[in-house]
Amino acid sequence: MSPKTLYDKIWDAHVAHEAEDGTCLLYIDRHLVHEVTSPQAFEGLRMAGRKVRAPEKTIAVPDHNVPTTAGREDPANMTEDSAIQVAALDKNAKDFGIHYYPVSDIRQGIVHIVGPEQGWTLPGMTVVCGDSHTATHGAFGALAHGIGTSEVEHVLATQTLIQKKSKNMKVEITGKLRPGVTAKDITLSVIGATGTAGGTGYVIEYCGEAIRDLSMEGRMTVCNMAIEGGARAGLIAPDEKTFEYCKDRPHAPKGAQWEAAMEWWKTLYSDDDADWDKVVTIKGEDIAPVVTWGTSPEDVLPITATVPAPTDFEGGKVGAAERSLDYMGLTPGTPLKEVEIDTVFIGSCTNGRIEDLRAAAAILKGKKIGVKRAMVVPGSGLVRAQAEEEGLADIFKEAGFEWRLAGCSMCLAMNPDQLQPGERCAATSNRNFEGRQGRGGRTHLMSPAMAAAAAITGRLTDVRELM
């Protein structure tokens, strides 16, 4: 047999039909659904008199626009349009008989945190969701990617997706990370090196010692931002850490089925002599704690650097950098460590898991915030409960952070958690686009530890100085 990549193996196990031109129907094992990109899809099913083909493989949870403040079970405490979308999801979940975690359920949270937490996401699966950060689930060695609403409807109706195979790209992070450097710094540094279109047309497999050394939480952070590098999906081969994480989760297989699953999962790796269309190698020791300075996730620099000038770039990036600097209110040559911030946001599907909260709390313990506003939005009700049990919530509250309920919150600012025009935010989320966190808001992306450090000093800060 010819050597295969991990992507090849998962792909081959899910092709339900292949046309002569290579267009395939890829079978979908898990379909995650949220309130913002699904109403039109369910409406489409109703109009055509169609059912959900595999409701037992379809899981819904409201996360994008739900408030993260107390009392949200009462629709009167949501904005009217949010309440309509959440009510539509309630109704669609009930009418079509799919799994559902309403806001009143402690298991509710960001869809990409709930899936793995409940054991819905398992190695070797195909996972889709009407959300680009579905790439997160690739951390389990699952082929996972975001789709549009028309494709959501297609998967609901047929449990398949029309696809052509992407190319294989290997991103290897060799050796060890230095102290203060995290999964977020890896994933941002990769995007900084390859650009936001560097992965277009590819599925990325992340590998190497630094990746193997990451926890499952860290691996999810890395894969989460594969989309920011333009890739269709990000993957990490499953290993003992993966199996340990999955074992005994509510929807993970048990007993003989677990054994059978393990047998297959252990074959899920790229063969040594597999062909790669593109290879990127970065030394782990070369990665520093980084922040973004501009309005594209590729605008990444070590915290020790200075704000770049448009003339540092070439081609279309010159104009883009000019526009970014103007929008961000930054002057070339300014040390990044002198940039003052107003707000800190810790949360999102990138960095809203327990390990992220632990990392931030370790920096914040016994300290007070030096910014106008700081909030922690745990990724799920269960993450929140665990953080309370571990005493992390108290550390955040004593430091002056708001301790919120689970949701996407200020990552995309669809709910009332938004930046004001000109406000500058240190954020653990994934996008620094113009207006992303609120019209005129300025976002700097970084790791939870770096965001905690910035919260204390009131400016972008090298976390290593506080360690």
Q: Which stretch binds another protein (CB under 8 A): 8-16, 304-312, 353-361, 391-399?
A: 8-16
Angle between helices 392-399 and 381-389 (to 10 degrees): 90
Among 260, 277, 279, 281, binds another protein (CB under 8 A): 260
Both structure tokens of 383: 């993450």
Both structure tokens of 382: 């269960």
By CB under 8 A, residue 46 contacts another protein: no
Cα end-to-end span (Å), the chain = 51
Q: Which stretch binds another protein (CB under 8 A): 67-75, 76-84, 170-178, 449-457?
A: 76-84
Would you say 411 is a known binding-site residue?
A: yes
By CB under 8 A, residue 311 contacts another protein: no
DSSP state of 310: G
Pattern 327-356, another protein, x by CB under 8 A = ------------------------------
Query: Per CB under 8 A, which of residues 414..453 are in contact with another protein?
Result: 414, 421, 431, 433-436, 439
Pattern 111-130, another protein, x by CB under 8 A = -----------x-xx----x
In whole angstroms, how close is the CB of 181 to another protein at the nearest point? 26
Query: Per CB under 8 A, which of residues 195..234 are in contact with another protein?
Result: 196-197, 200-201, 227, 230-232
* C-alpha distance from residue 78 to each of 19, 67, 75, 200, 419 (Å): 47, 7, 5, 38, 18
Distance, CA of 175 to CA of 172 (rounded, Å): 10
In whole angstroms, how close is the CB of 38 to another protein at the nearest point? 9
Q: What are phi and psi of 74, to 5 degrees?
A: -90, 115
Would you say 168 or 461 has its CB closer to another protein?
Answer: 168
Among 131, 172, 356, 423, binds another protein (CB under 8 A): 131
In whole angstroms, how close is the CB of 222 to another protein at the nearest point? 19
Would you say 159 or 168 has its CB closer to another protein?
Answer: 159
Would you say 155 or 287 has its CB closer to another protein?
Answer: 155
Among 93, 177, 377, 412, binds another protein (CB under 8 A): 412
Name the CA radius of gyration of the chain, rounded: 21
Q: Which stretch binds another protein (CB under 8 A): 153-161, 351-359, 377-385, 395-403?
A: 153-161
Among 258, 306, 402, 458, binds another protein (CB under 8 A): 258
Of the CA atoms within 13 Å of residue 465, those in its CB half-sphere come to 13
Among 36, 177, 214, 449, binds another protein (CB under 8 A): 36
Helices in 58-168 by DSSP H: which ranges? 80-96, 111-117, 149-158
By CB under 8 A, residue 77 contacts another protein: no
By CB under 8 A, residue 247 contacts another protein: no
Beta bridge mates, 143: 126
In whole angstroms, how close is the CB of 402 to another protein at the nearest point? 21
Angle between helices 149-158 and 39-48 (to 10 degrees): 50
Would you say 261 or 452 has its CB closer to another protein?
Answer: 261
In whole angstroms, how close is the CB of 258 to another protein at the nearest point? 8
Among 164, 176, 247, 283, binds another protein (CB under 8 A): 164
By CB under 8 A, residue 157 contacts another protein: yes
What residue has token string 């209110």? 329
Nearest to 216 by CA among 243, 181, 189: 243
In whole angstroms, how close is the CB of 18 to another protein at the nearest point? 9
Beta bridge mates, 302: 290
Q: Three-class SS of residue 10? A: helix
In whole angstroms, how close is the CB of 268 to another protein at the nearest point? 12
User: In the sheet that 99-100 helps form, which strands lie side by side, from edge to edge?
Assistant: 99-100, 58-60, 30-33, 126-129, 143-146
Both structure tokens of 41: 């899809």
Pairing of the two strands 126-129 and 143-146: parallel
The length of the chain in residues reads 467
Contact call for residues 61 and 108 (beta carbons, < 8 A): yes
Among 75, 102, 175, 253, binds another protein (CB under 8 A): 253
Furthest-apart CA atoms within the chain: distance in Å? 64
Pattern 275-294, another protein, x by CB under 8 A = --------------------
Report the run of H or E that residue 140 belongs to, with start and end: none
By CB under 8 A, residue 306 contacts another protein: no
Query: How many helices (H) and strands (E) are present in the chain, helices listed first?
Result: 16, 19
Contact call for residues 377 and 386 (beta carbons, < 8 A): no
Residue numbers belonging to the annotated binding site: 349, 408, 411
Residue numbers belonging to the annotated binding site for [4Fe-4S] cluster: 349, 408, 411
